[in-house]
Chain A
Amino acid sequence: MVDLKRRFDVLVIGGGNAALCAAISARRAGASVLVLEGAPKFYRGGNTRHTRNMRCAHDAATDILTGPYTEEEFWQDLLLVTGGETDEELAKFMIRESKDILNWIVEQGVRWQPSLGGTLSLGRTNSFFLGGGRAMLNALYLTAEQLGVQIIYDAEVADLHIEDGMFLAAHLKQPIDGATEIRASALVAAAGGFEANIEWLKEYWGEAADNFLIRGTPYNRGSILKMLLAKGVQDIGDPTQCHAVAIDARAPKFDGGIITRHDSVVFGIVVNKHAQRFYDEGEDIWPKRYAIWGRLVAAQPDQIAYIIFDSAVVTSFMPTLFPPIAGGTIAELAGKLELDPVALEKTITDFNAAVQPGTFDHTILDDCRTEGIMPQKTHWARKIEAAPYLAYPVRPGITFTYLGTRVNKQSRMVMKDGKPSANMFAAGEIMAGNVLGKGYAAGIGMTIGSVFGRVAGREAAKNAKN
């Protein structure tokens, strides 16, 4: 049983990669550490449970990485995906630190494997967790427990007692062993974003947010983030933005994870509920195309769209959790999708007529394109003509939000007046907006979590000892 009456050196709120790296790092620096995870044990770890890899810089190939990925290349990739919306000093610090994380995280019990089947394009840049994100979490929790970190599940924090940028105590929503107030000398907030908080999303997206599916657990509600911002911590990142991909509309409201995704867009066309195309399906190669479709679908009526393709391409992409909806004719398919059959037939006929001859190669921006229709399909355009015709219904799948707390290189929160907090640190998605103001690069969320988690834990321990 945990003695909650005592004062801990470091309180970590959250239970994912960043939280556990912070807890382990603080404990290894000699601090007494309590972790409050708001979710039940099975759902511990927020978005980490659905991750599978981490992007770390390295100067040479390793057992699991096929080639070097220099700091400079990482930085250029980050610049590209964020369009420059990143804190250069902080980002370069993170990239430099990421090199050592490749080894440090292994010392905490995490195991690597070469890139997974179907993700070969990441084999050089990203290290994959053997067994996936939950295996990674399990390893971190085991290590933390062995080191003597105290962990409590279902521990929802209702309020934070903060005075002049100094954390004093956290108040639990439900008392645990009679205690409601948790005191600590330093706080590490690693409690993620607010992607599962539909009410909060509605502030920016309106009623459309009701049609969003959340890819992670229902526990990513951003309540800690909200408290911190309300108590004087400086915000960073666009509050209106979230990372969204197109996922199967048949997926559960929460926690469908990776397996509900669809990456078949380039092999067909995408239509909205009026059976009209609305964007160039062949604009760019993975992963960029993967990341834009959530937002595109969110902008369509009723936030629904349909990827339409034919049986000639069905084995061109990974098998899917939900089988495609099939129809012997376009009209039959339209009927099953509850689309106007005449409109869908016209859309496909027009598309097929516009397809130009070319040599198909999905690994490059090939010369298969349309001419004379809007929007164009600029690459990988092939006629949809081999019955049965197939479709996946898709909706926006919200992965994470960008709003966060500003931090410095110590992972220390910065207050609205620009002064660093006396004893509050942040790590992971809750501060990802410092580095990733926009866009996404595979595995970077875990890099942010591990690097800043490790730094935050170390600094918080140091802070508590002074």
Chain B
Amino acid sequence: MHGTRILEEADRLMTVCNSCRYCEGLCAVFPAMEMRRAFSDGDLNYLANLCHGCGACYTDCQFSPPHEFNVNVPQTLAVARNESYAAYVWPRAFSGAFARNGLVISIVAALSVAAFIFGFAAFHDRQVLFGVHTGPGAFYKLMPHNAMAALFGAAFLYAIVALFMGVRAFWRDIGEPVGMRADAGSIWQAIRDAGELRYLDGGGVGCFNEDDRPTDRRKIYHHLTFYGFGLCFASTSVATLYHYFLARQAPYPWWDLPVVLGTLGGIGLLIGPVGLLLEKWKRDPVLVDEKRLGMDVAFIVMLFLTSLTGMALLFLRATPAMGPLLALHLGVVFSLFVTMPYGKFVHGIYRFVALVRYARERRMMGHV
């Protein structure tokens, strides 16, 4: 017996699939399944997070609906995956955040933006908020750098702690023995698998989205989003180093590394999320967890807004719009950070951990 109905269904499907095994060449889920004859809650949550949702096993399955065996692995694992985020969340009290994620994240985002605008206005007179500021340190006329660093440092730290606690619970549930550490080789393998989205390709042909013709579009858009996010993060990191070690203050000229990284990342983070959203709207509902589409949409929209407000800030930073735009951008980024452990962002972390576990299992079983 399992803790939830969806895990019961996942167990039923893994029993069907384990007596068939036709899909074992498609991705990591089925080889991992074959290493087991029975499935604990942790095993099923592990398989659910290992699944990248490419849909190939549904299209290829002779037992998918309308067949009476009713085998729908992508949808079942999508639901199980989303429920696993809530099951492992820290603190537990926030597990409900996943159920109405779109609403939660919009409220947090709206409040954050409002707080920054109010904050800027409250601590300064209106001239500052709507004034024209240029040159190094222009942003800090609205909010002192140390205050900004402390606030975002705290938000970021909180996100890391909450994510770490959740992932730790997940790792304990899926790993054996309890508290097992991963080896460097497995981590490196997982980095490579995640970095190229190795398992989001239907075993080589691409993802199944709106019909039975596979495409690489989701993979490409995800790469744009992920690496765009990575570049933006790198931009902020470089800027922080500039600030503390080179005593160079933002804003930087357009040719400087933080701006170049941020602009390239920002472009990726504009195109990628839009593409992902379009693909999501077209996607065959039979493959997805329809009840929690809001969570996916909320995260994608937040990423898009982060980039959009950042780019707007870059282009309009020498105008009176700079103040409100900075408040908007900081509000969006702040809410992105604090809601990270309670939304779609966690999929990347859990899936990465599942990939580490998979790499470890394969090593233990004597595979390369």
CB-defined contacts of A315 to chain B, threshold 8 Å: 37
Task: Answer yes or no: A255 CB below 8 A from chain B CBs.
Answer: yes
Chain A interface, number of residues (Cβ within 8 angstroms): 30
Pairwise interchain contact A134-B204, C-beta atoms closer than 8 A? no
Minimum CB–CB distance for B1 against chain A, Å: 14
Candidates A114, A117, A133, A135; contact of B21 at CB < 8 Å: A117
Pairwise interchain contact A116-B22, C-beta atoms closer than 8 A? yes
Chain B residue with minimal CB distance to A130? Answer: B25
Contacts across chains A and B counted by CB atoms under 8 Å: 81
Pairwise interchain contact A131-B23, C-beta atoms closer than 8 A? yes
CB-defined contacts of B57 to chain A, threshold 8 Å: 131
Pairwise interchain contact A318-B19, C-beta atoms closer than 8 A? yes
- Docked complex: A119-147 residues within 8 A CB-CB of B: 128-135, 138, 142
Minimum CB–CB distance for A194 against chain B, Å: 21
Candidates B19, B21, B60; contact of A138 at CB < 8 Å: B60
Task: Answer yes or no: B176 CB below 8 A from chain A CBs.
Answer: no
Task: Answer yes or no: B67 CB below 8 A from chain A CBs.
Answer: yes
Task: Answer yes or no: B63 CB below 8 A from chain A CBs.
Answer: yes
- Docked complex: B55-105 residues within 8 A CB-CB of A: 56-57, 59-63, 66-69
B18-41 near A? 1/0 per residue, CB < 8 Å: 111111111000010010010000
Chain B residue with minimal CB distance to A136? Answer: B60
Pairwise interchain contact A132-B60, C-beta atoms closer than 8 A? yes
Minimum CB–CB distance for A247 against chain B, Å: 11
CB-defined contacts of B67 to chain A, threshold 8 Å: 42, 255
Pairwise interchain contact B60-A135, C-beta atoms closer than 8 A? yes
A23-61 near B? 1/0 per residue, CB < 8 Å: 000000000000000000010000001101000000000
B contact residues, range:
20 to 34
Q: Knowing A116-B22, A117-B21, A318-B19, say if A257 contacts B56 (CB, 8 Å).
A: no
CB-defined contacts of A128 to chain B, threshold 8 Å: 25
Complex-state Cα separation, A135 to B68, whole angstroms? 19
Pairwise interchain contact A134-B62, C-beta atoms closer than 8 A? yes
Task: Answer yes or no: B205 CB below 8 A from chain A CBs.
Answer: yes
Task: Answer yes or no: A113 CB below 8 A from chain B CBs.
Answer: yes
Task: Answer yes or no: A357 CB below 8 A from chain B CBs.
Answer: no
Most chain A beta-carbon contacts within 10 A, residue among B15, B20, B37, B66:
B20
Pairwise interchain contact A50-B62, C-beta atoms closer than 8 A? yes
Chain B residue with minimal CB distance to A112? Answer: B25
Task: Answer yes or no: B213 CB below 8 A from chain A CBs.
Answer: yes
Most chain B beta-carbon contacts within 10 A, residue among A49, A252, A318, A321:
A321
Complex-state Cα separation, A282 to B213, whole angstroms? 47
Pairwise interchain contact A131-B60, C-beta atoms closer than 8 A? yes
Task: Answer yes or no: B320 CB below 8 A from chain A CBs.
Answer: no
CB-defined contacts of B56 to chain A, threshold 8 Å: 131, 135
Pairwise interchain contact A116-B60, C-beta atoms closer than 8 A? no
Pairwise interchain contact A118-B26, C-beta atoms closer than 8 A? no
Pairwise interchain contact B62-A131, C-beta atoms closer than 8 A? no
Task: Answer yes or no: B16 CB below 8 A from chain A CBs.
Answer: yes
Q: Which 3 A-B pairs have the closest CB atoms?
A: A132-B22, A113-B25, A131-B60
21 interchain pairs (CB within 8 A)? Answer: A42-B67, A52-B22, A111-B204, A116-B21, A116-B24, A117-B34, A130-B26, A131-B22, A131-B25, A132-B22, A132-B61, A134-B62, A252-B68, A257-B63, A259-B16, A259-B19, A315-B37, A318-B21, A319-B15, A319-B18, A321-B19
